[in-house]
Amino acid sequence: MTTKLLSMQVPFHRADLGEDEVSAVAAVIRSGWLTMGPKTLEFERQFAAYVGASHAVAVSSCTAALHLALEAVGISRDHEVLVPTTTFTATAEVVTYLGARPVFVDIDPQTFNIDPLDLERRITPRTRAIIPVHFAGLPCDMAEILEIAARRRLHVIEDAAHALPSTYHDKKIGAISELTAFSFYATKTLTTAEGGMISTENEDYVRRLQVMRLHGIARDAWKRYSAEGSWFYEVLEAGFKYNFTDLQAALGIVQLAKCDGMNRARERVARRYSSAFRSLAALEAPPTASDRTTSWHLYVLRLHLDRLRVDRNRFIQELADRGVGTSVHFIPLHLQPAYQRNYGYRTGDFPVAEREYQRSLSLPIYPTMSEEEIDHVIWAVSDVASTFSR
């Protein structure tokens, strides 16, 4: 190994932002209209067309998107909402905003997506909705989930924070169930620094989402400071301050145009990793499936711990010592103090999620990775795996 490779540092993430984004944001600043306005509407139109949905409503985060979607379908106190335990806390926390109860579900050991069999077992007379999370970008088995939802009369709100662009049975995620929530957080596959989007086919939901994202004020409230606006407004509901801004939309429009290209670049990284790791018995590459495509938001490597003399945490430390930044997705929610204290969850409740959590780590994967950086990650992972193999 050359000294250059040994001394290299590969961060876990680096956003793909360039001069086009800088110019687009500068143009919005010069226009004098900073918050939600014409650029946001343009981004919503382009986003809906990109995923093949009739409507898209931009909001301040995916957390806000999930909250508003649950509110739109009428989730309230005493309701239960099914959520995989392997997800970010946002997916479950939004359920509690409405006074409802998040009910955790175990995951499929191959995909880390919600397990449809366990899901069906946890339905009670109080269950009203399911939030499937497309873990790492690989879509859930939506046919099975939609079939259960139709039979048990449940709403489906997809958490697609990882799934732009991903497809299931040749349809983009965002055009499949009644409401889908996306994230444009800094590390996501399309970023506006912070931001989110809800796609839907249903015009009643669109009206509700548009009112509730801006204080519950009647539609087009954002125009009240424009030339065509008026000082008069009506507050229809006690809503939320969840609107998007034109500064974010300017970033989003440039990023959306690059989305397919950025996806191909991440796919290339994933292919190089998976073919390099195939020959190492201690490593398991993430799954793919012939009926769906993934955004490759994350590349989750699994360790066969019985073939190694180190655990996952030491593996991560050894990679850090070799200059490779990693992360873990996710610590199952039922192991977190807040959900244990408030809902009585305990270690041991979801054995698949716990086992997979103990043996997984996420490697760097982003469009701006150079060939040398990809080589370096492959070298470091292979070196740790062979140094500590049994």
Ligand X SMILES: Cc1ncc(COP(=O)(O)O)c(C=O)c1O
Instruction: Kindly state the number of chain residues that form the binding site for ligand X, as judged by CB under 6 A.
Output: 14
Closest CA to 322 of 2, 5, 85: 5
Q: How far apart are CA 63 and CA 307, in angstroms?
A: 39
Mask 114-133, x = binds ligand X (CB under 6 A)?
-------------------x
Q: Which is nearer to ligand X, 135 or 345 (CB)?
A: 135
DSSP string of 211-240?
HHTBTTBPTTGGGGGSTT--S---B-S---
Query: Does the footprint of ligand X cover residue 262 (CB under 6 A)?
Result: no
Query: Does the footprint of ligand X cover residue 197 (CB under 6 A)?
Result: no
Supply φ then ψ for residue 18, to 5 degrees: -135, -160
One-letter amino acid identity for 290?
Answer: S
Asked whether 282 and 308 are in contact (CB, 8 A), the reply is yes
Q: Which is nearer to ligand X, 116 or 195 (CB)?
A: 195
Query: Does the footprint of ligand X cover residue 87 (CB under 6 A)?
Result: yes
User: What is the 3 state secondary structure string of 6-71?
Assistant: HHCCECCCCCCCCHHHHHHHHHHHHHCCCECCHHHHHHHHHHHHHHCCCEEEEECCHHHHHHHHHH
User: Using CB atoms within 10 A of its CB, is residue 69 exposed (0-12), middle (13-18) or buried (19+)?
Assistant: buried
Q: Which of 88, 242, 345, 379 binds ligand X (CB under 6 A)?
A: 88
Task: Give the count of beta carbons closer than 10 Å to the beta carbon of residue 368.
Answer: 13
In Å, how far are 189, 190, 248, 320 from 19, measured between CA atoms?
18, 16, 15, 31
Q: Which of 159, 178, 318, 373 binds ligand X (CB under 6 A)?
A: 159
Q: Which of 33, 104, 185, 296 binds ligand X (CB under 6 A)?
A: 185
Q: Which is nearer to ligand X, 113 or 183 (CB)?
A: 183
Q: Interface with ligand X by CB under 6 A: which range of 111-119, 157-165, 263-271, 346-354?
A: 157-165
Q: Which of 90, 198, 212, 374 binds ligand X (CB under 6 A)?
A: 90
Q: Which is nearer to ligand X, 112 or 273 (CB)?
A: 112
Q: Which of 84, 132, 137, 196 binds ligand X (CB under 6 A)?
A: 196
Cross-sheet strand order for the sheet of 196-200 = 55-59, 196-200, 179-183, 155-159, 127-130, 80-84, 101-105
Cross-sheet strand order for the sheet of 299-303 = 283-284, 299-303, 360-363
Mask 130-149, x = binds ligand X (CB under 6 A)?
---x----------------
Q: From the CB of 133, what's the least distance to ligand X, in Å? A: 5
Name the one residue in this structure whose structure tokens are 């150079």: 370
Query: Does the footprint of ligand X cover residue 10 (CB under 6 A)?
Result: no
Q: Which is nearer to ligand X, 161 or 247 (CB)?
A: 161
Set 171, 188, 223, 241: catalytic member: 188
Query: Does the footprint of ligand X cover residue 357 (CB under 6 A)?
Result: no
Residues in region 17-76 near ligand X by CB under 6 A: 61-63
Query: Does the footprint of ligand X cover residue 183 (CB under 6 A)?
Result: yes
Name the one residue in this structure whose structure tokens are 């204080």: 215
Residue 188: active-site member: yes
Q: Which is nearer to ligand X, 198 or 308 (CB)?
A: 198
Query: Does the footprint of ligand X cover residue 166 (CB under 6 A)?
Result: no
Residues near ligand X, by CB under 6 A: 61-63, 87-88, 90-91, 133, 159, 161-162, 183, 185, 196
Residues noted as catalytic = 188
